[in-house]
Amino acid sequence: MKNKNYQKQAAALFALLTIGSAFVNAYGMVASVGEQIIAFISALITYAVIVCLFLTYLNIDAISIKARTRIGVSFVIMTIVESVYPMVLYSDQTLPTDYYFVFFVQLILNTYIAKVISNERTS
């Protein structure tokens, strides 16, 4: 009984810390509401990716392959949304010259991360 109580407390604290951290990160941005919402969702997905990477490192299969694949795909999609939304929003302004380069490097790296977390584990 005591173990179940600690599990519930750990889950509640994990949710509080991740959601709170993502909110503080997004709220602290000097940006449009759309960019803040994107930053909030992106931070939540990033936390899920970090958990998946750590579980992969430990070779623990606590999250189903289907859920890990969804997390990986949403991670890549949010990378695209995070970069394309400002391009559309500020289309009348010129972007820094390295904006596209950084975007493509980030996209390649995040696609690789998604591939790593969504791979089937073999014992």
DSSP class per residue in 31-90 = S-HHHHHHHHHHHHHHHHHHHHHHHHHHT---S-HHHHHHHHHHHHHHHHHHHHHHHHHT
pLDDT at position 37: 95
* Inside any domain, residue 7: yes
* Inside any domain, residue 17: yes
pLDDT at position 2: 64
Number of structural domains the chain divides into? 1
CA pseudo-torsion sign 23, 103, 65, 67: positive
123 residues of the chain, pLDDT tens digit each: 567 888 899 989 999 999 999 999 999 988 889 999 999 999 999 999 999 999 999 999 999 999 999 999 999 999 999 999 988 988 888 888 898 899 999 999 999 999 999 987 665
Q: Is 107 exposed, middle or buried (0-12, 13-18, 19+ CB in 10 A)?
A: middle
Query: Backbone phi, then psi, for 21, in 5-degree steps?
Result: -65, -45
* Inside any domain, residue 34: yes
Domain limits at 107?
A: 2-118
pLDDT at position 123: 55
pLDDT at position 84: 93
Report how far apart the first and last C-alpha atoms of the chain are (Å, whole number): 31
pLDDT at position 7: 86
* Inside any domain, residue 58: yes
For residue 11, give the nearest of 19, 36, 26 by alpha carbon: 19
